[in-house]
Amino acid sequence: MIRLLQQSFDPGAELSAFCQGRQEVGAVASFTGIARAEQGRTETLELEAYPGFTEAAIGEIAREAETRFGLQAYLILHRVGTIAPGEPIVFVATASAHRREAFEACDFLMDYLKSRAPFWKKETGPDGSRWIEPRASDLTDLARWETKP
């Protein structure tokens, strides 16, 4: 399931619900991305999505992860709107029979979400606002998943 959220959320409550009743799952990996204060350099973060388009794009990658890593379930939550330091931005949980697949699928989804997913991000600090472009290290992380020809 993929959800874009206008309001802050509790990653733990989501993890509890996700783990509930999974008698045959074995392994649940999760990742929570939290807005950093950067020692006061970042006051707020604004995240913009294109409703419908953004979920569809993430859904395509999530289906790829399901097949590739044999996932039994996944949950992707992503904040949009104005985010304060300390608030969660993104939460991904993956369920699989064994931990290797759960970890790799979670890692794979996060690399996609942090580098190529259709979001536009603006940081506001004491010196004003700026739009953030993808970091070079995000693109390097993503390259790990590309199968060589």
The 8-class DSSP code of residue 149 comes to: -
37 binds its own copies per the rule CB under 8 A: yes
79 binds another protein per the rule CB under 8 A: yes
Q: Which is nearer to another protein, 113 or 148 (CB)?
A: 113
Give the orientation angle of helix 53-69 with respect to helix 99-115, to 10 degrees.
150
Backbone phi and psi for residue 35, each to the nearest 5 degrees, phi listed first: -65, 125
Q: Which is nearer to its own copies, 99 or 130 (CB)?
A: 99
CA distance 137 to 79: 22
In whole angstroms, how close is the CB of 56 to another protein at the nearest point?
A: 7
Q: Which is nearer to another protein, 86 or 118 (CB)?
A: 118
Would you call 7 exposed, middle or buried from its count of C-beta atoms within 10 A (0-12, 13-18, 19+)?
exposed
Which does residue 68 touch among another protein, its own copies, none (CB within 5 to 8 A, set by kind)? none
Backbone phi and psi for residue 84, each to the nearest 5 degrees, phi listed first: -90, 155
Q: Pattern of binders to another protein over 13-52, x per CB under 8 A?
A: --------------------x-------------xx-x-x
E strand intervals along the chain: 2-5, 27-34, 44-49, 73-79, 81-83, 88-96, 119-125, 128-132
| Residue 97 DSSP SS3 | coil
Q: Which is nearer to its own copies, 49 or 109 (CB)?
A: 109
The residues of the shown chain that bind another protein, judged by CB under 8 A, are 33, 47-48, 50, 52-53, 56, 78-79, 89-90, 112-122, 131-134, 138
The residues of the shown chain that bind its own copies, judged by CB under 8 A, are 10-19, 21-34, 36-39, 85-86, 88, 97, 99-100, 102-103, 106-107, 110, 114, 141
